[in-house]
Amino acid sequence: MSEQIDADQARQALAVAEASGGAAARSGRWYALYSVVYAAMSVALTLAVGLAPSVWTIGGGTVLWLIAVGALSTYALRRPVAPRRYALLHTSSIVAWGVIYMVVMFGGTTGFRGDPAWWVPGALLTAVPPLVAAAVAVRRPAGVAAAR
């Protein structure tokens, strides 16, 4: 036997559901912050390696990159909700970033060593995929963590 609820109870239930949905959507926006930080790290690493290539820059930059990505990954894993279709969004962003990063690195190290005309635009280009992902995450409602 199902219970019937009156109009006031229905309005209260609807208000609670709307408030919960808004809170979930806002808490799913953490991925935008993640993506902006990732974009900034990418620009910094690309510029450092491209404009001041040395064993210390490449080695130290790689170590700092791994630490920062580890911290970002830990941050991501601790979030209770994620943007809708998070796995596709994140995978697409990282794959696009990887392709652009490899083209910039390969082109720069083979033909434009230390040339700011290559490295500055190239570094900024590596930031595009994560910044697009950030924009999508802000506009997209959140899903539940299990839906990642």
- Does the pLDDT of residue 129 top 70, yes or no? yes
pTM of the model: 0.78
Tally of structural domains, the chain: 1
Question: Which two three-digit tokens encode residue 94?
Answer: 């990282």
Which neighbouring-strand residues pair with 143?
Answer: 82
Which neighbouring-strand residues pair with 81?
Answer: 144
pLDDT band at 94 (very low <50, low <70, confident <90, very high): very high
Give the mean model confidence (pLDDT) for residues 128-132: 98
With CA atoms as reference, report the closest residue to 50 among 106, 1, 114.
Answer: 114
Assigned domain for 117 exists: yes
pLDDT, one tens digit per residue, over 33-79 is 999 999 999 999 999 999 999 999 999 999 999 999 999 999 999 98
Residue 16: which domain range?
12-147
Assigned domain for 139 exists: yes
Hey, CA dihedral for 47, 53, 54, 58, is it positive or negative? positive
Supply the mean pLDDT for the chain. 86
Assigned domain for 2 exists: no
E strand map for 81-127 = 81-83
Assigned domain for 26 exists: yes
Window from 10-14, 15-19, 112-116, 126-130 with minimum mean pLDDT: 15-19
Assigned domain for 1 exists: no
Q: Give the Cα separation of 59 and 14 in Å (integer).
A: 55
CB atoms within 10 A of CB 87: 11
Window from 24-28, 34-38, 95-99, 116-120 with minimum mean pLDDT: 24-28
* Residue 28 near residue 137, CB atoms below 8 Å: yes
pLDDT at 21: 52
Assigned domain for 4 exists: no
pLDDT at 68: 96
Assigned domain for 6 exists: no
Assigned domain for 3 exists: no
DSSP 81: E
